[in-house]
Structure 1
């Protein structure tokens, strides 16, 4: 099943752009006592959209992706302001740790920047009675190549060069490969300090999938959540690597755009082979998501992303965080709260809220499919 099927890619592109620029926040009023209005996070006196708390509220526990950490903070705060008895306790730890805890039955949902592997799906059947774990794309973003090089404000890199930097094949900022991509830039004769994730990370897996498609063989390792490159220094989580780049001169790393913005870090543009380098912006990432394809079957909505895109204005280094849940066999006492929180998160109001923080609202056609899958959870 493909999102591009039946000539719908144009509609998806329009929908994605519309979501990035403006989302309708019309409240869907309700007389249900379990529907409450959020005060929002900007202090505005304007009427906030209604949030449906579901028939039964309950505390939720989740863990996983740190790339979506800022988004989950926004979503859970907005939802919790309206639904006082549904608290969401989200621990990071990385995608690998989140999936592991989900398959141990310790949490209601996991956040993962990579879809479940077949072995992980099999393992999930032990905790999803009568069902299995599925991938629901909820938080989309882009991976920024963040850097701290004094005097360099508009760095341009490409797939082979980025891969070589993170594998210690390029070790100086004035290396000929970087100079060629940045004519006129004052690149220092300084050692490059690269930082990578030490935890099993879906962000790392997406970055290395990009390397596999674009590095022309410079990256010789398989795509993986675990870091395999030579050299560099490690840090835990997107927050950890971002903090290191902010503190260390002549450094570089990779992190979700919201962490780049939070830390006031510069992001490199990527030479994809298009007419001009593509900036790391939500609009440019939305152009890539508009052409995503669904690889999952049934209620599983895992996506295939084109990391090697050369389309004008399409940023290639994107990721989507899946909320991993049971299609059947969710715990009865938390099912209503889980469905209500996910429905808010994938709805217009939730996508708008995280879009304002540097994430990428997903195309309308896709959010509609996720909404339907959430309603069907049992």
Structure 2
């Protein structure tokens, strides 16, 4: 059971914004800047109505997708401005738990979350969603990297059992035989391991511990959990805080969205008989081999990740970040802005911006079609 307690834009993205903006100025159905040409009911984006978008649109949530969200908001505002609209879209990387709380309290109009809204949260959402329940859309697929800083060691192979033992603090030294056996060519120092965890309620933590629970339940006995269950130890607030803590030591190890691993070492993870380094392709393959979570409404698209697969080339520690959106918005302008922004994020162009700025894996065409239908179903006014 899952337990919960409840603007960095690259030159590549700016270049893409410029290219898309020029397309927008040209007009015409074939030059639809939303990436959703052919949709009959995709809100302002599909109808060419960016010029009508005005006001402010605020979201908050998962820090894992911060780089992607920063690029999406900047790119989207550039497209809107090119058509004569004037909208300010902001995303505050507060962490998944806080983002969901703010969304359910009506403080923001969309949330980014690494753990999809659950049944209780969906039921509570009707109060803020004009009488309709919220729903989840998968928009950001990325590997969770096991990051480390260990002087003299650049490459590291780890099994799920060893990772579980390290973070459960039963494997405490880098020259432990269990680590040495997996890394015969490495010179492992006689040095204490310093595991670093997230201090905030984190969907990344939940995804990471779910992987450990599924693959190494004897080593990791705490289950999948959003709030770190072990007292003490080093921690960091948000993804950036965890990365800073790992960077600041020697012998440190943590877990974070791979897009923010920077210059830290990253472990290859044992899957079957091979060790697989993270990549967007390997993360996307993990999603492709996984079914949809059962018992959800048709518009509530949540992937039930198969983290125990032994299929070749799959990186199993995968994070899927979701957009949490209302099924209905009382304010028409606000609702149309949400629909246009969400349509852009899932579009081929939007997903390309995410890949260029955050190393994420674009969602499949099948997922895009299902997600657009869910967005089209949002009622406004």
Whether TM exceeds 0.5 here: the answer is yes
Partner-residue secondary structure (3-state), 1:321: strand
Correspondence for 1:216: 217
Q: CA deviation at 1:130?
A: 2.4
Unaligned runs of 5+ in 1: 1-24, 39-50
Q: CA deviation at 1:81?
A: 1.6
Correspondence for 1:277: 275
**Alpha-carbon contact 1:35-1:53 (below 8 Å) kept:** no
Q: CA deviation at 1:65?
A: 0.4
State how far apart, in whole Å, the 2-side matches of 1:159 and 1:202 are: 19
Go from structure 1 to structure 2 and tell me whether the alpha carbon gap of 1:210 and 1:154 turns closer, same or farther (over 3 Å shift): same
Q: CA deviation at 1:55?
A: 3.9
Correspondence for 1:95: 96
Correspondence for 2:337: 337
State how far apart, in whole Å, the 1-side matches of 2:270 and 2:195 are: 20
Q: CA deviation at 1:231?
A: 4.5
Correspondence for 1:353: 353
Correspondence for 1:172: 173
Correspondence for 1:46: none
State how far apart, in whole Å, the 2-side matches of 1:97 and 1:74 are: 21
State how far apart, in whole Å, the 2-side matches of 1:106 and 1:333 are: 17
State how far apart, in whole Å, the 2-side matches of 1:159 and 1:121 are: 33
1:124-135 equivalence runs, <5 A: 124-135=125-136
Correspondence for 1:22: none
**Alpha-carbon contact 1:66-1:237 (below 8 Å) kept:** yes
Task: Determine whether 1:243 maps to 2:244.
Answer: yes
Task: Determine whether 1:107 maps to 2:105.
Answer: no
Partner-residue secondary structure (3-state), 2:276: coil
Go from structure 1 to structure 2 and tell me whether the alpha carbon gap of 1:175 and 1:54 turns closer, same or farther (over 3 Å shift): farther
**Alpha-carbon contact 1:53-1:341 (below 8 Å) kept:** no
Where does structure 1 differ by over 4 angstroms across 4 or more consecutive aligned residues?
Answer: 25-29, 34-38
RMSD between superposed Cα atoms in Å: 2.3
Q: CA deviation at 1:330?
A: 5.2
Q: TM-score, normalised by structure 2?
A: 0.84
1:1-378 equivalence runs, <5 A: 30-31=27-28, 53=50, 55-84=52-81, 85-229=86-230, 231-260=232-261, 263-273=262-272, 275-295=273-293, 296-329=296-329, 331-356=331-356, 357-378=358-379
Partner-residue secondary structure (3-state), 2:117: coil
Unaligned runs of 5+ in 2: 1-18, 36-47
State how far apart, in whole Å, the 1-side matches of 2:331 and 2:186 are: 57
Count of paired positions:
339
Greater CA drift, 107-116 or 223-232: 223-232
Correspondence for 1:44: none
State how far apart, in whole Å, the 2-side matches of 1:159 and 1:332 are: 49
Partner-residue secondary structure (3-state), 2:138: strand
**Alpha-carbon contact 1:168-1:232 (below 8 Å) kept:** no
Q: CA deviation at 1:36?
A: 6.5
Go from structure 1 to structure 2 and tell me whether the alpha carbon gap of 1:37 and 1:103 turns closer, same or farther (over 3 Å shift): closer
Q: CA deviation at 1:331?
A: 3.4
State how far apart, in whole Å, the 2-side matches of 1:316 and 1:179 are: 22
Go from structure 1 to structure 2 and tell me whether the alpha carbon gap of 1:231 and 1:168 turns closer, same or farther (over 3 Å shift): farther
Deviations 1:189-208 (A, max 9, x none): 11111110011000000011
Deviations 1:53-79 (A, max 9, x none): 374333111111001111101111111
Partner-residue secondary structure (3-state), 1:120: helix
Correspondence for 2:12: none
**Alpha-carbon contact 1:270-1:279 (below 8 Å) kept:** yes
Partner-residue secondary structure (3-state), 1:99: helix
